[in-house]
Amino acid sequence: MTVSALPKEVAEYFPYKVVRPFQDQYISTIHSAVKERRSVLIEGSNGLGKTISALSAVLPIAIEKKLKVLYVARTHRQHERVIEELKAVSKNHPVAGVSLRGRNEMCLYRFDSSQHYDAKSLMEVCDLMKAKGTCPYYKSAEKQSYDYLALQQQIGSRSYKASEIMRICKKKNLCPYELVKAALSDVNVIALSYLYVFDPDIRNAFLKNLDTQMHKIILVVDEAHNLPDTAVDISSSNLSLFMMHQAEMEAKKFGYEDVEAFAKLLYKETEKRVASVRKEEQISPLFLDEVREKAGVLAPRSFYQHLNEIGTSVKKTLLSEGKHPRSYIHSLSEFLLRWTETADDEAYINVISKYFTRDNSQTAKLEIVALDPSKVTLPVFSSTYANVVMSGTLQPLDAYAKITKMPENTVEHIACSPFPREHILSVVCCGVTTAMEYRTSAMYQTFIRRIQEVVRNTPVNTGIFTASYEVTRNLLAEGLQDALEKPLYYERRGMTSKANEKLVSDFKDSALTGGAVFLGVQGGRTSEGVDFPGNQMNSVIIIGVPYAEPTPRVKAQISYFEKRFPTHGREYGYTLPAMKKASQCAGRPVRTLDDQGAIVFLDHRFATGYCKGFLPSWVLRDMKVLPAKDGVLAQELQGFFKR
């Protein structure tokens, strides 16, 4: 299909000669909604070209109305992809855009490697160095050279990736963060992380640099299935025993005896309370009042504000001494104030939990757990010009719209899949399940036989994603590795990002040397954030429905949603998150229109009407249910890959 199928004003910004199957519908739906100043909630499978579709649909409106386009996504790779598409657009229609990273990642100054600076601390250090004139990369307004101003103007008139700006600035000894910040008011499109838009504190600071207001922003949210969890994380907070102890030591060092005594008592009372907890337990907000009363603190808010002021003073002192401006007293005060603010709000619960540190020692923490994503999403969605919220796994759309409180006039649309039907095999195997009461040795042996059938009949690489690390451990204990005729790469709990990237890279490289098997967990970083086109993953096996362990926070989430959405509490708080994880795994092997991918669900529950209602339409399209019989799965795979 040619670009003539697109609205004329959109075609000017669409840089390709051919429109993919159903891509025109996707683009037109977004364009029409935003033109009417309505938001759109849209699901589209891999291969549709969602990034360029969204950009070409909103750019004509943004340029005409002098609006900014903020394109939020999770990873730097996704941000860079936005800029790549803008560069293609700019060959016919110049558009300025940048991908923005945090100060932490754009700073060229080499700090002491033993110190880890969080975003707030780095901002304070940065401001001090600028004020003192000790940063070799920062140029104050009066010292900005012609070259600096020319570069700023250049960035504000073209499309640049953050990585490109950093390379240029390194050669010219300039601060990339300050340079991008100065150019933001001139660019049309900014690709950035969720936090810049959805974290209230970060958003307020960002909007000042942007020199605009929310009602002049078209917001595009990519991989939007992640947004509810991100919103909950933004609203939640925790305070560990380690932080309490450090606050006590800090107070002792600076001579604040009242703070020292309070931090010490809080540590002891938390330690005493957690002794009877197996893993985690919901506790009353009054726990903090009990500690406060024992400490003789009569006016809690005043005292916590007192701690905040002391923490700020400590940070200033450390900064003036050229030290890392981290104050544990300040962190303690922010947690205590947040606890007090949320104590009477049913959208939050308080939890005490045990966990293991990196050195495998057990410790504990107090938590403020948010239950309502809309506390974070509503202020954003209700104040922009329009929102484009998209992903490959959003069904049911009405549930997503309710949970995040999208505007009532939001357009909801599910795009048809562009994949030829013969390119996807989707099967559910009966006779297997990870339901707790059936997790026997015999069941795991059945799983291994089915996995063998898939691996032996897959041309090159196979991916496996289990319901939990426990299922992974049991498969390995039952002899999975020995049963395979190809090398096995498997994720381990607590792996560093670097180790995980190396594992995935080695697995992908195996596609050139006969193939391998990757074993991960549904909801893990590899199951969502990594693409495996071509032979990098021909088949994917999804073992079990990844229902969350029924912890106090999960039960509280179900209960809260039941109050907000009667009869839907379990569906929204328990089933939907699990099925989103499974659906994301299903999309790993089919990333381009040329890919052939086999999707194998090893749990009979995926064939039930209830679970099927949460799977993407392109997975359900020709789904087959196979009997509990050896060899049937192998036969299906042989026929599929021969085609």
> Which pLDDT does position 439 carry in this prediction?
95
- CA-based nearest residue to 602, from 523, 518, 544, 525: 544
- CA-based nearest residue to 288, from 266, 271, 310: 266
% of the chain surpassing 90 pLDDT: 71
Q: Residue 332 corresponds to which amino acid?
A: L
DSSP notation for 152-218: HHHHTTSEE-HHHHHHHHHHHT--HHHHHHHHGGG-SEEEE-HHHHHSHHHHHHHHHHHTS-GGGEE
Task: Give the residue-averaged pLDDT of 498-502.
Answer: 90
**Long-range interactions of 576-579: CB distance < 8 A, separation 24+:** 576/399, 576/614, 577/229, 577/548, 578/545, 578/546, 578/547, 578/548, 579/545, 579/611, 579/614, 579/615
Residue 534 CA to its chain's centroid (Å): 25
Cβ atoms of 103 and 123 closer than 8 Å: yes
Instruction: With cut-offs at 50, 70 and 90, classify the pLDDT of residue 506.
Output: very high
Task: Give the residue-averaged pLDDT of 28-40.
Answer: 97
> Which pLDDT does position 140 carry in this prediction?
65
CA 37 to CA 32: how far, in whole Å?
9
CATH fit for domain 421-642, picks 2.60.260.40, 3.40.50.300, 3.40.50.720, 1.10.1490.10:
3.40.50.300
Which position has the higher pLDDT, 319 or 513?
A: 513
Instruction: With cut-offs at 50, 70 and 90, classify the pLDDT of residue 530.
Output: confident
From residue 519, alpha-carbon distances to 76, 288, 529 in Å are 25, 43, 15
Enter the tokens of residue 590. 């089919």
CA 143 to CA 353: how far, in whole Å?
52
Per-residue pLDDT reduced to its tens digit, 69-113: 999 998 888 999 999 999 999 998 899 999 998 887 888 887 755
For the chain, the farthest-separated pair of C-alpha atoms sits apart, in whole angstroms, at 78
Question: Which 3 state secondary structure label does DSSP give 598?
Answer: strand
Cβ atoms of 574 and 402 closer than 8 Å: no
% of the chain surpassing 70 pLDDT: 98
CA 258 to CA 304: how far, in whole Å?
12
Per-residue pLDDT reduced to its tens digit, 608-639: 999 998 998 889 989 999 999 999 999 999 99
Per-residue pLDDT reduced to its tens digit, 324-352: 788 999 999 999 999 999 999 999 999 99
pLDDT exceeds 70 at position 142: no
CA 634 to CA 8: how far, in whole Å?
49
Q: What CATH architecture does domain 235-370 belong to? A: Orthogonal Bundle (1.10)
Calculate ∠ Cα 557-583-30, nearest 5°: 90
Sequence-ordered list of residues with C-beta below 8 angstroms from that of 139, at least 6 positions apart, any chain: 145, 148, 174, 175, 178
pLDDT exceeds 60 at position 114: no
Which position has the higher pLDDT, 261 or 320?
A: 261
Q: How many CB atoms lie within 10 A of CB 299?
A: 10
Instruction: For domain 3-95+188-222+385-414, give the CATH superfamily.
Output: P-loop containing nucleotide triphosphate hydrolases (3.40.50.300)
pTM: 0.91
pLDDT exceeds 80 at position 257: yes
- CA-based nearest residue to 74, from 233, 216, 186: 233
**Long-range interactions of 555-563: CB distance < 8 A, separation 24+:** 556/282, 556/349, 556/369, 556/371, 557/371, 560/346, 560/347, 560/371, 560/372, 561/371, 561/403, 563/346
Cβ atoms of 71 and 191 closer than 8 Å: yes
pLDDT exceeds 60 at position 141: no
Q: Where are the domains of the chain?
A: 3-95+188-222+385-414, 104-158+167-180, 235-370, 421-642
Instruction: With cut-offs at 50, 70 and 90, classify the pLDDT of residue 567.
Output: very high
pLDDT exceeds 80 at position 123: no
Task: Give the residue-averaged pLDDT of 345-370.
Answer: 93
Q: How many CB atoms lie within 10 A of CB 324?
A: 20
> Which pLDDT does position 1 carry in this prediction?
67
Task: Give the residue-averaged pLDDT of 372-388.
Answer: 98
Q: Tokens 């007192």: give the residue.
A: 306
Per-residue pLDDT reduced to its tens digit, 150-198: 888 888 889 999 999 999 888 888 888 888 888 898 999 999 999 999 9
Per-residue pLDDT reduced to its tens digit, 387-440: 999 998 898 999 999 999 999 999 999 998 888 888 999 999 999 999 999 999
Strand intervals (E) in 311-438:
348-356, 362-370, 386-391, 411-414, 424-429
Three-state SS annotation for 425-464? EEEEECCCCCCHHHCCHHHHHHHHHHHHHHHHCCCCCEEE
Instruction: With cut-offs at 50, 70 and 90, classify the pLDDT of residue 148.
Output: confident
Per-residue pLDDT reduced to its tens digit, 194-234: 999 999 988 988 898 888 999 999 999 999 999 999 999 99
Q: One fold for both 3-95+188-222+385-414 and 421-642?
A: yes
Instruction: With cut-offs at 50, 70 and 90, classify the pLDDT of residue 258.
Output: very high
Per-residue pLDDT reduced to its tens digit, 474-485: 999 999 999 999
pLDDT exceeds 80 at position 259: yes
CA 536 to CA 322: how far, in whole Å?
49
Per-residue pLDDT reduced to its tens digit, 44-78: 987 889 999 999 999 999 999 999 999 999 888 89
> Which pLDDT does position 32 carry in this prediction?
97
